[in-house]
Amino acid sequence: MEKRKLARIHFPGHGRVLEIGCSTGNIAPAFGPMDGVSYLGVDIDPAVIEYARKVFSRIPGFDFRIVEAARPDFGTAVFDYVLIAGVLHHVGDEDCRKLVSAAADAAQHDGIVVVSEPLLPQPEDPFLVRQFIRLEQGAHVRTESHLRSLLSSVPGVRIIAAEQSLIGATPVGWPKVARFSVFALKKA
């Protein structure tokens, strides 16, 4: 639930939504069903896309497609809102830049790209946050400053907002188990 809330922080409430690395569509319900929303979720894993298609088959305006990691192709459509949630900590810095650049290319001129990522815990974080990160399977979990620097180095995009939040592991948001950062990007 809290990851869905993070995904909506900068969402304008309408338009065409692209989620890169959608997996089984666990964040997709944050965007629908709403009037005027068209959602495309893409992922490299055919099994998760097949599952998402089954789960969301009755929701109009929702589509799921397989993309290649090396050359992500989102078609000719442009999007008002492009989301990369919990994906970049699975890729190295250069692939991260490429993915964010591809996301910016898919956004319309005044569209927004949002990156939501788990962060390495800070010393003042609660015990569970410092321990829970050990379960994270991403090999590239970064600090907020590293992620900010990385996103700032992507040609053609600029950071317009950044927030951090401790999120919970249950629908009620407790206990807090992970620190997440949300960056909003626009084309430069």
pLDDT of residue 77: 87
Rg of the chain (C-alpha set): 16
Full-model pTM: 0.95
The pLDDT value given to residue 169: 80
Give the chain's domain count: 1
- Residue 15: CB atoms within 10 Å: 17
pLDDT of residue 36: 79
- Residues of the chain short of pLDDT 70, as ranges, are none
Residue 65 has what pLDDT? Answer: 96
Containing domain of residue 133, as a range?
Answer: 2-187
**pLDDT of 98:** 93
Contact 172, 188 (CB under 8 A): no
Using the Cα atoms of residue 30, residue 133, residue 50 and residue 115 in order, give the sign of their dihedral. Answer: positive
CATH number at residue 120: 3.40.50.150
